[in-house]
Amino acid sequence: MKLKRISALMLAAVMTVGGATTVMADPLNTATGGGTTITGEGKVDYVNTKIYSVTLPTTAAMDLTIDPQGLTGLENGKTATLKELEDYAGLVASKGKALVTNCSSVKIKVSVELLGTGSATFVDSAAAVEAEGENILLYALPSAVDVQDNADNYEASTTGVLISTGSGTTLDFVLEPAEYVVSKSDSGALSYKPKDGQKGHGTAISFEGAVNKDADWSAYSGAAATKTIGMTAVFTYDADLDGAVADTTEGAPYGMVAMGSGTITVAAKAKAPSIGATGTYNKATGVITATVNLGTGAKATTLKSAKYGSSSDGATNEVVSPKIEGTTFTGSVSSSVKSGWSSKAAGSTVYAVITLDDGTSEAVALTVQ
Amino acid sequence: MDKPEEGVQNVQESARERRKTSRLQIVLNVVACIAALGMLAAITVQMSRQKEVTETGPVTPGYVRGTVVTKDNVDEVLASAGESVPAGSYNCTMNVEWHFEDSGKASYDAYVLNSAFNTYTVYFDVSLRETNELVYSSPYIPVKAELDSIQLTSRLDKGEYPAIVTYHLVDEDLKELSTVSVAITLFIEN
């Protein structure tokens, strides 16, 4: 029994990013792939106990705001036009993004069981929301990209997973492991710990939807509320993937296992423009390369200017023939600068200041190649 | 001569014995008082924790509340809209299959760590999925602390029980901030 407890502690240290590293001072004979099988010199026994490290969202991140009248269109202490209120009327949104990150050293399947609760009627289409009654359309909108450790990196996919009452809905995600490294001390002891800067892989989920603007929702609010509306979220995780495979088709939510039914297509959200902080300068060709995202939808913009120089402050020369294809920015320096910079050492840095029409600007550090 | 001396001796011994008994009694009384105070403190903490749960926490594991915006609460909703969500995530470091030789003994492999990733102290409840019966409630677990001697508070027959662990994140004043629920399985072997 004692041995089993010790083993459990060891596994916890193995599986935890930045966790109880002191435990790792104990010598290990072997630490095999995934870290779920460890044997030691008699004092640490193998036991079939798998301990995972998974970051999960709490209810605080998922709490729902339901706005039948569009009152959130008002800014504090200000007025709003009827049109502005109408734009917000009927919207449902979660307070934050529900972050799910696998910090373990093995690939795992994380499932979340979602079940609509309360007195309202959960429907499955925007049209059904408008029918008479206290109707709500509520869906989970997972990220299209690997979010890792910060929900701020969330990018909405276009797959909304409907939340219903009855037996509820289960979303399955297959999440890649965090990277771990094995090192050997002078005494020959092996330790197994997360690679520097490793933060795991995961997703984030936003909860959105709509309610019937014309229904009377007064019974759901205030101290004297007699009705409730909400959902439950229970998480499960295991290294036994049970055949689950993440859907890797373009646009699919990151890590999510495809669902045969129970989803709706959500209009792509406008994406803000962005400029990568680093790029390259090829001294043989004189070409500058950087990453520039021009945004989408209402937030789409265009290139305003691109200048270069030896320092970010000195970037005053216009880039020759600048263009953006996809998210790749290219342009050249003048032939005289190209000649002058030909003596620059590989790995040194020059700069390009790229500015977009919406005001987004970045001094891009270009590594000389 | 012998008798009176014997009698004096007996009285002296008896007095010594009484003093010993009396000292022992005092020690026992002090121990009893300390134990009683300890129990009282434990009960108070437990009761205050349950009070917190009753006042602010949902009964259903994983319950996410929906707030309907009205003119009475719109300012509050708007004020919190731009803020980051405190206690919005929790790093669960634990195993999800807990084995017990029998339900009267502590599990030999259940393990829970409040990892260094986390910010808040937690406690957790374990309830059976089918009946919602509460079968364990942990003490408070500070960040970096672990718990591995978990003994159920309910008797369960031999079998496999799907259960839910609901972590409650609390602030410095032990006020509940949020919860997260994770499914586990309890195995009662005898």
ipTM: 0.71
Least confident of A4-13, A59-68, B179-188: A4-13
Q: Give A345 to chain B, closest Cα distance, Å.
A: 41
- Per-residue pLDDT of A277-286, as tens digits, reads 999 999 999 9
- Residue A209's nearest CA partner among A290, A122, A151 is A122
Least confident of A43-47, A142-146, B13-17, B105-109: A43-47
Number of H helices, E strands in chain B: 2, 9
Contact B180/A at CB under 8 A: yes
DSSP-based three-state secondary structure for B11: helix
pLDDT for position B30: 63
Residues in a beta bridge with B100: B188
CA B102 to chain centroid, in Å, comes to 20
Exposure string over B111-120, b if 16+ CB within 10 A, otherwise e: bbbbbebbeb
Distance CA A350, CA A347 (A): 10
CB B127 within 8 A of CB B140: no
Nearest residue, CB atoms, B64 vs list A54, A64, A221: A64
Mean local confidence (pLDDT), A274-278: 90
Distance CA A255, CA B97 (A): 24
Contact B178/A at CB under 8 A: yes
Query: Chain A contacts of B91, Cβ < 8 Å?
Result: 53-56, 103
- The vertex-B20 CA angle with B17 and B22, nearest 5°, equals 105
What is the number of residues in chain A? 369
At A13, which helix (H) or strand (E)? helix A2-15
CA A168 to chain centroid, in Å, comes to 24
A96 and B88 within 8 Å at the Cβ level: the answer is yes
Q: Give A344 to chain B, closest Cα distance, Å.
A: 44
Q: What is the mean pLDDT of chain A?
A: 81
Residue in B closest to A67 by C-alpha? B69
**Residue of A58, A208, A229 to mutate for B, most B C-beta atoms under 10 A:** A58
Exposure string over B143-163, b if 16+ CB within 10 A, otherwise e: eeebbbebebeeebeeeebeb
Q: Is the pLDDT of residue A34 over 60?
A: no
A230 and B148 within 8 Å at the Cβ level: the answer is no
How many C-beta atoms surround the C-beta of residue A369 within 10 A?
Answer: 14
List, as ranges, residues 146-165 from B with C-beta within 8 Å of A.
146, 148, 164
In sequence order, the 6+-apart residues with CB closer than 8 A to the CB of A262 are: A161, A162, A164, A169
A237 and B96 within 8 Å at the Cβ level: the answer is yes
Residues in a beta bridge with A362: A354
A53 and B115 within 8 Å at the Cβ level: the answer is yes
Task: Name the amino acid, one letter, at A246.
Answer: A
**Residue of A2, A22, A59 to mutate for B, most B C-beta atoms under 10 A:** A59
Which has more confidence, A228 or A81? Answer: A228
Least confident of A168-172, A205-209, B75-79: B75-79
Which has more confidence, A126 or B54? Answer: A126
B68 and A19 within 8 Å at the Cβ level: the answer is no
Nearest residue, CB atoms, A72 vs list B60, B65, B78: B78
Query: Chain B contacts of A172, Cβ < 8 Å?
Result: none
Distance CA B165, CA B185 (A): 10
CA A15 to chain centroid, in Å, comes to 21
Task: Name the amino acid, one letter, at A324.
Answer: I
Residue in B closest to A220 by C-alpha? B68
**At A99, phi and psi to the nearest 5?**
-90, 130
**At B170, phi and psi to the nearest 5?**
-125, 155
Least confident of A99-103, A193-197, A228-232, A323-327: A193-197
Burial (0-12, 13-18, 19+ Cβ within 10 Å), A366: buried
Mean local confidence (pLDDT), A82-100: 84
Q: Give A177 to chain B, closest Cα distance, Å.
A: 14
pLDDT for position A31: 26
**A318, two tokens:** 């216009």
Look up tokens 């309910």; give the residue.
B154
pLDDT for position A95: 87
Q: Is the pLDDT of residue A352 over 90?
A: yes
**Global pTM exceeds 0.90:** no
CB A65 within 8 A of CB B67: yes
pLDDT for position A72: 83
How many C-beta atoms surround the C-beta of residue A149 within 10 A?
Answer: 20
pLDDT for position A124: 93
pLDDT for position B32: 63
- Per-residue pLDDT of A298-325, as tens digits, reads 788 999 999 999 998 999 999 999 999 9
Residue in B closest to A15 by C-alpha? B93
Residue in A closest to B80 by C-alpha? A95
Contact B91/A at CB under 8 A: yes
pLDDT for position B142: 94
pLDDT for position B77: 81
Nearest residue, CB atoms, B148 vs list A8, A50, A59: A8
> To the nearest whole percent, how much of chain A has pLDDT over 70?
82
Q: Give A217 to chain B, closest Cα distance, Å.
A: 8
Mean local confidence (pLDDT), A107-126: 94
CB A103 within 8 A of CB A17: yes
Q: How far is CA A67 from CA A62, A80, A156, A213, B93, in A?
A: 16, 15, 21, 8, 37
Nearest residue, CB atoms, B87 vs list A5, A18, A58: A58
- Residue A29's nearest CA partner among A17, A43, A18, A9 is A43
Q: Is the pLDDT of residue A38 over 60?
A: no
**A181, two tokens:** 């490294």
Distance CA B78, CA A65 (A): 10
- Residue A208's nearest CA partner among A33, A88, A306 is A88
Nearest residue, CB atoms, A18 vs list B65, B73, B117: B117
A49 and B97 within 8 Å at the Cβ level: the answer is yes
pLDDT for position B47: 41
Contact B116/A at CB under 8 A: yes
Distance CA B19, CA B123 (A): 47
- The vertex-A75 CA angle with A71 and A81, nearest 5°, equals 65
Query: Chain B contacts of A68, Cβ < 8 Å?
Result: 68-69
Q: State the pairing for strand pair A91-94/A201-211.
A: antiparallel
Task: Name the amino acid, one letter, at B148.
Answer: D
Task: Name the amino acid, one letter, at B185.
Answer: T
Nearest residue, CB atoms, A60 vs list B73, B79, B178: B178
pLDDT tens per residue, chain B (190 residues)?
Answer: 344 444 444 545 555 565 555 666 666 666 665 655 555 444 444 444 443 444 444 468 889 889 998 888 888 888 777 666 678 899 999 999 999 999 999 999 999 999 888 999 999 999 999 999 999 999 999 999 998 889 999 999 999 999 999 999 999 999 999 999 999 999 999 9
| Phi-psi category of residue A18: left, alpha or beta, with phi > 0 → left and psi -120 to 50 → alpha | left
Distance CA A153, CA A71 (A): 28
HSE-CB of A49 using CA atoms within 13 angstroms:
32
> To the nearest whole percent, how much of chain A has pLDDT over 90?
56
Contact B59/A at CB under 8 A: no
Q: Give B145 to chain A, closest Cα distance, Å.
A: 9
Full DSSP string of A168-223: -EEEEEEEPPPPEEEEE-TTS-EEEEEPTT---EEEEEEEEEEE-TTS--GGGSST
CB B99 within 8 A of CB B107: yes
Where does the pLDDT of residue A41 fall: very low under 50, low under 70, confident under 90, or very high at 90 and above?
Answer: very low
Radius of gyration, alpha carbons of chain B: 26
Where does the pLDDT of residue A4 fall: very low under 50, low under 70, confident under 90, or very high at 90 and above?
Answer: very low
Cβ–Cβ pairs < 8 A, chains A and B? 211
Look up tokens 């910010």; give the residue.
B119
List, as ranges, residues 22-51 from B with C-beta within 8 Å of A.
none
